[in-house]
Structure 1
Amino acid sequence: MSEGSYFSRNFLNKQVLVSALFTAYKNLLWPLVGIGLPIVIFGVKGTGIEKATFFVAISIGLFIPYFCLCFTMHKLSLKTKDDEKKFYALSPKERGKVIGDGLLGWW
């Protein structure tokens, strides 16, 4: 097993990062579409382009802290060396999925 920090082994690994980004955004998109989209459509005055821009800006603004929190909470969940060994035994795509699903049960 190669040595390195949690950050360098996961955040700097392209496969892990892309998989984690996709999974976290997919998990965050459901509440955004269910709650935020009707608010934007019926509550915000403006053209369709303005509404779409507002929705994209809000989704990105919420996604960045959510993604950082996913990484932080997952790092804190690896309490023992055994947990770390099990996690690093996964493929890079699976590790990204596990990180992206870090806050899945918290809603």
Structure 2
Amino acid sequence: MKITLFVLLVLGTLAMARPDSIFDFDLDDIHQDQDIDDDRVITGSYSWIAPDGVRYFVRYVADDDGYRVLESNAVPATALGIRANGQQGSFLSSEEFDD
């Protein structure tokens, strides 16, 4: 559910960045795979084709260390040049702070 929300957030951001092409976006251009193992480790990927024809992808893992991008051409490196490889910091869930 969180991953789907994240994908929708990414797509919404793309639509806002290029409002002239929001209606050119085809849902058939979106693909998502996800697997949950017995230890509740989630691995998956999602990809989409932007209106300009470029295919973007994100491969990720979500486990006890949080959500981490393993590989991506959508977010290839941080401002410091650190490439996505799963060793970078994680995105922690706000759920861990819920009572």
TM category (shorter chain) comes to: 0.3 to 0.5
| Larger strand proportion of the pair | 2
Which of structures 1 and 2 has the larger relative contact order (alpha carbons within 8 angstroms, sep 6+)? 1
Question: Which structure has the larger Rg over C-alpha atoms?
Answer: 1
Q: TM-score, normalised by structure 1?
A: 0.30
| Larger helix proportion of the pair | 1
